[in-house]
Amino acid sequence: MTTLAPLQRVLNTAARIILDLRPGDHVTPALQELHCLPVTARIKYKLCLLAHKVTMGQAPKYIADLLTPVAEISSRSALRASAHGDFADIAVRRPRLEIGDRAFSVAAPRLWNQLPT
C-alpha cells in the first residue's frame, strides 16, 4: 500500500456519498461526473501549476528559489531547453532513495520539462 492509497479511498468514498452509490457500483464514472482527478494526477497538476507560476513570476520567493530556469545558467543559455522555458536539472541530484524524487526541487522540473511545448 502506498501513502496515496488512503487519500484515494477517501476521495472514492466522498464520491459514493455525494452521488448516493451502492457499494458495488463503479466509482470511476462518478469521479468523472464530479470532475475529480485521481490523487496522483492532482499532485502532478499542482506541481506543474506551481512551476508555471514560477515562470510567470507569481510564485512565492521560497518556491521560486527551488527552481532554476535553464536560460539563467550561462553555460546552458544557448541550449534549446532555454528557449522552451525548461527548468535546469542541475539541482536534481540523483537521489539514492526514491523519497528524494518526491522533493519539489526534483519532481517539479522533471514534470515541467516533460510537458509538450
Residues 21 and 51 in one domain: no
Chain-centroid distance, C-alpha 110? 9
Instruction: Name residue 13's amino acid.
Output: T
Residue 67 has pLDDT above 90, yes or no: no
Residues 54 and 110 in one domain: yes
Give the span between the Cα atoms of 79 and 46, in whole angstroms.
27
Residue length of the chain: 117
Residue 75 has pLDDT above 60, yes or no: no
Strand (E) or helix (H) holding 12: helix 5-18
Residue 9: predicted pLDDT: 94
Q: Which domain holds residue 93?
A: 39-114
Residue 102 has pLDDT above 70, yes or no: yes
For the whole model, what pTM was predicted? 0.74
Reading the block at residue 65, the C-alpha cell is: 528559489
Cell 468514498 sits on residue: 13
Q: How many domains does the chain have?
A: 2
Residues 29 and 49 in one domain: no
Residue 68 has pLDDT above 60, yes or no: yes
Residues 13 and 62 in one domain: no
